[in-house]
């Protein structure tokens, strides 16, 4: 894809992201397989052996092993999600610049940087999530005083609004970290600055894929619940239910995880065009008029070896 870069409205951003995904479907689906599998493993490991009133030593050992596996797979999923999203951002950047990139190259660029990416995830989570902690404490006190736990729901919903606003401010930090090969704290600050003037577009870009993913997952969850009630065999087999749920989650990851990462990447470049004149920089570079320009996103150290074909 070598379309001229220009400022886009919300519809144009989503349309460009879908075009990139369709053009390189096998690339992005391949990048989503690993986090999809680790997410499925987390769901299956969450099915622990039932507790008994008089457990044997073997049963206790099985329970400990089950919880240990759940912990290990959760950590693996945390790292794999971070690596995969960064790889998708890089792959989307290369595709937008008309450059080929392989699945192995995209993943390999960030495997040694996994700690940085997970650190950025925690930084974003803490920055965006601290209001809900305070609101949850207040909601718990109010609900306890009123003896009505249902009061917590509207209070928490209101408390989530500043969390969304804060996350939108720092959402571009991930493509910044992946494409510009910056440390987590530097990428976080640049992402916040780069988002200025475009936060409604960024919010929309995050919102639409998320709603589609939630709708897809919830719809299939209702079907699985219906099958669980209708089938005595399935209803008495929590591992089978977890397997079906894992398949739904895996498919959702294949479809929506790449779209979310591509949308973030398109938003990143859209903000660079609006705030930094990146489209003019690209045109000058293509015309050979820039003799000492800084490295382009596609030429970052993280993209080394990107000339491999898929």
Mean pLDDT for the chain overall: 83
Question: Once rounded to an integer, what is the mean pLDDT over residues 270-298?
Answer: 70
Q: Which two tokens stand for residue 30?
A: 């391949």
More confident residue, 230 or 286: 230
- Residue 70 inside a domain? The answer is yes
Res. 307: pLDDT tops 70: no
Question: Once rounded to an integer, what is the mean pLDDT over residues 261-266?
Answer: 94
d(CA 77, CA 181): 22
- CA 286, chain centre distance (Å): 32
- Residue 121 inside a domain? The answer is no
Q: Which two tokens stand for residue 257?
A: 């995880």
- Residue 161 inside a domain? The answer is no
d(CA 88, CA 106): 7
- What are the two backbone dihedrals, phi and then psi, of residue 51, each rounded to the nearest 5 degrees? -75, 150
Angle, CA of 303, 304 and 310, to the nearest 5°: 75
Residue 141: what pLDDT?
81
Tens of pLDDT, residues 205-261 = 888 888 888 888 888 888 877 777 777 766 667 777 777 888 888 888 888 999 999
- Residue 82 inside a domain? The answer is yes
- Residue 5 inside a domain? The answer is no
Question: Once rounded to an integer, what is the mean pLDDT over residues 26-33?
Answer: 93
- Residue 179 inside a domain? The answer is no
- Model confidence at 29, pLDDT cuts 50, 70, 90, reads very high
Residue 293: what pLDDT?
46
Question: Once rounded to an integer, what is the mean pLDDT over residues 56-79?
Answer: 82
Res. 309: pLDDT tops 70: no
Highest mean pLDDT among 49-53, 178-182, 238-242: 178-182
Res. 301: pLDDT tops 60: no
What is the extent of the structural domain holding 73?
10-115+197-286
- Residue 299 inside a domain? The answer is no
Selection from 189, 190, 175, 191 nearest residue 90 by Cα: 175
Question: Once rounded to an integer, what is the mean pLDDT over residues 1-24?
Answer: 83
- Model confidence at 135, pLDDT cuts 50, 70, 90, reads confident
Residue 310: what pLDDT?
41
Least confident of 43-57, 207-221, 296-310: 296-310
| Counted domains in the chain | 1
- Residue 18 inside a domain? The answer is yes
Strands (E), 162-228: none
Tens of pLDDT, residues 73-117 = 889 989 999 999 999 999 999 999 888 999 999 999 998 989 999
Q: Which residues contact 190 (CB under 8 A, 6 or more apart)?
A: 173, 176, 180, 182
More confident residue, 217 or 310: 217
Residue 3: what pLDDT?
63
- pTM for this entry: 0.81
Tens of pLDDT, residues 139-160 = 788 877 777 777 777 877 887 8
Helix (H) or strand (E) holding 178: helix 173-180
Residue 294: what pLDDT?
47
Say if residues 34 and 84 touch (Cβ distance below 8 Å).
Answer: yes
């Amino acid at each position: 894809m070598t379309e001229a870069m220009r400022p886009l409205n919300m519809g144009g951003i989503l349309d460009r992201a879908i075009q990139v995904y369709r053009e390189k479907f096998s690339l992005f689906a391949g990048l989503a397989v690993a986090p999809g599998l680790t997410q499925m493993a987390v769901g299956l490991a969450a099915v622990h052996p039932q507790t008994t009133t008089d457990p044997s030593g073997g049963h206790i050992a099985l329970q400990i092993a089950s919880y240990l596996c759940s912990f290990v797979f959760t950590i693996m999923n945390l790292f794999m999600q971070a690596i995969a999203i960064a790889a998708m951002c890089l792959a989307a950047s290369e595709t937008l610049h008309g450059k080929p990139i392989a699945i192995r190259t995209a993943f390999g660029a960030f495997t040694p940087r996994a700690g940085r990416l997970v650190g950025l995830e925690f930084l974003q989570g803490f920055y965006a999530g601290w209001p809900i902690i305070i609101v949850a404490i207040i909601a718990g006190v109010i609900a306890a005083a009123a003896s009505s736990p249902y009061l917590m729901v509207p209070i928490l919903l209101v408390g989530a609004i500043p969390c969304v606003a804060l996350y939108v401010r720092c959402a571009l930090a991930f493509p910044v970290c992946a494409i510009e090969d910056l440390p987590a704290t530097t990428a976080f600050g640049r992402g916040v600055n780069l988002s200025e003037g475009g936060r409604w577009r960024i919010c929309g870009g995050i919102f639409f894929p998320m709603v589609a993913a939630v709708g897809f997952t919830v719809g299939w969850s209702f079907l699985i619940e219906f099958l669980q009630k209708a089938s005595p065999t399935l209803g008495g087999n929590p591992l089978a239910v977890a397997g079906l749920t894992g398949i739904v989650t895996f498919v959702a990851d294949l479809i929506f995880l790449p779209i979310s990462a591509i949308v973030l990447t398109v938003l990143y470049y859209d903000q660079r065009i609006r705030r930094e004149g990146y489209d003019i920089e690209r045109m000058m570079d293509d015309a050979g008029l820039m003799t000492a320009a800084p490295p382009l996103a596609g030429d970052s150290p993280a993209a080394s070896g990107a000339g491999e074909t898929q």
